[in-house]
Chain A
Amino acid sequence: MSSNDNDRLVRRLGILAAALALAAVFAGSPYAAQHGQIDVAALAHAVAHEDDHVDAIELAGWIKDRRSDLRVIDVRSREEYDSYHVPTAEHVLLDALATTPFRAGETIVVYSEGGAHAAQAWVFLRARGYDKVFFLRGGLYEWLDQVMSPGLSANAPAKDSAAFKPIAELSRYFGGVPQARAEGPSSTSSLVLKVRRRGC
């Protein structure tokens, strides 16, 4: 290629780059084309087969096992997250989930205070194409109730006592206090009150 041909090619490429850059100003956001797609049948199947959620004990087991592909996402407000959160959880607001990147194959567990916002987050993430997404069924309340202060009725049968042992161990791992309960209100009430806020 002669020097003149080379100059001509460089000039043409420069003009092309300038034209594409000018068009970019009016093209809108490159994120705008990233609409998620909801496969209604797949979501309905997951919900029907209860593949959409985990319970607090199962999640605690995953965290304790240090699953390398696990990401726990807290979608509550920053203040609530700072006040208390599930160990290893990251704080991501609900609207930021639309653009938060996750790696392929990661297991994502979303939780909120109760279950509503986390269930909505589950739909968002499934719409974005992530398959291994779960929400914590009863939210942070369930975590506090079942992991941080699991209770066993004082007059529980031996079978229930045996089943309670691994749960009590798991609870102690996270600094919880398993306890024998008389019938009546749960002793998690004070913890729940600590994280409760008005509204959902």
Chain B
Amino acid sequence: MRAPFFEFGAFGNYGALLAAVFIGVAFGWCLERAGMGSARKLAGQFYLTDLTVFKVMFSAIITAMLGAFWLGRLGFLDLSRVYVPETFLMPQLVGGLVFGVGFVIGGLCPGTSCVAAATGRGDGAMLLGGMFTGVLLTGLVFRPLEHFYMSTSRGAFTVPQLLHVPYGVGVAIVVSVGLAGFRVAEMVERRSATSQVS
């Protein structure tokens, strides 16, 4: 049986929803175990004292990228049936900026705020409430924003397409950057720990 399982009809809508619940719970559990429910730990990233978020995210990117590539190459995954979200350059740059500012102010991102709220933290619950309020307000004023939302569309745009390199080379570049980033993060953390001790 090849993946994506839903696309190949291995299970229907209810099966897909059940799988989504299972994966969501597993994802939340992993985030919590990595300490991602704590705004204090996440804020450490901005003070360069604790780069766990950076390392977790890059580990996830590297694992997923290598997994998708090799599963596709070995025939277990039909990559042409994996949905690639479209790129809208300017709206996503602005969205990223809003996201980053919110991350610095709140100390949590959307996923980790869910984890924080689920573990009973008040800041997580407040951020979650703010997030849904923002979604609602954006929906209410969407009409005037629609033109901007749909601007600078690049379609399903991937890193290998951007760099004009074969898929495998794109994988190697991203993994190299990730591993180098991981190494630098560890060095920064070590230096930060040393300076705190002294």
A69 to nearest B CB, angstroms? 12
Find out whether the CB atom of A21 lies under 8 angstroms from the CB atom of B73.
no
Closest-by-CB residue of A relative to B4 is A104
A104→B168 CA distance, assembly (Å): 28
Q: How large is the interface on B (under 10, 10 to 19, 20 to 34, 35 or more residues)?
A: 20 to 34
In terms of DSSP, what is the predominant structure of the interface of chain A?
loop
Find out whether the CB atom of B7 lies under 8 angstroms from the CB atom of A18.
no
Number of chain A residues close to chain B: CB under 8 A: 27
A25→B169 CA distance, assembly (Å): 5
Answer yes or no: B147 CB below 8 A from chain A CBs.
Answer: no
| A binding-site residues for B, Cβ under 8 Å | 14, 17-18, 20-22, 24-34, 98-105, 128-129
In terms of DSSP, what is the predominant structure of the interface of chain B?
helix
The 16 listed contacts between A and B (C-beta, < 8 Å) are: A14-B179, A17-B179, A18-B176, A24-B69, A24-B171, A24-B172, A27-B73, A30-B70, A30-B168, A101-B7, A101-B83, A102-B81, A103-B7, A104-B6, A105-B9, A129-B8
Find out whether the CB atom of A25 lies under 8 angstroms from the CB atom of B6.
no
Answer yes or no: B82 CB below 8 A from chain A CBs.
Answer: yes
Answer yes or no: B80 CB below 8 A from chain A CBs.
Answer: yes
Q: A14-B182, A21-B171, A25-B168 are in contact. Are A30 and B79 (CB under 8 A)?
A: yes
B156-171 CB mask vs A (1 if < 8 Å, else 0) is: 0000000000111101
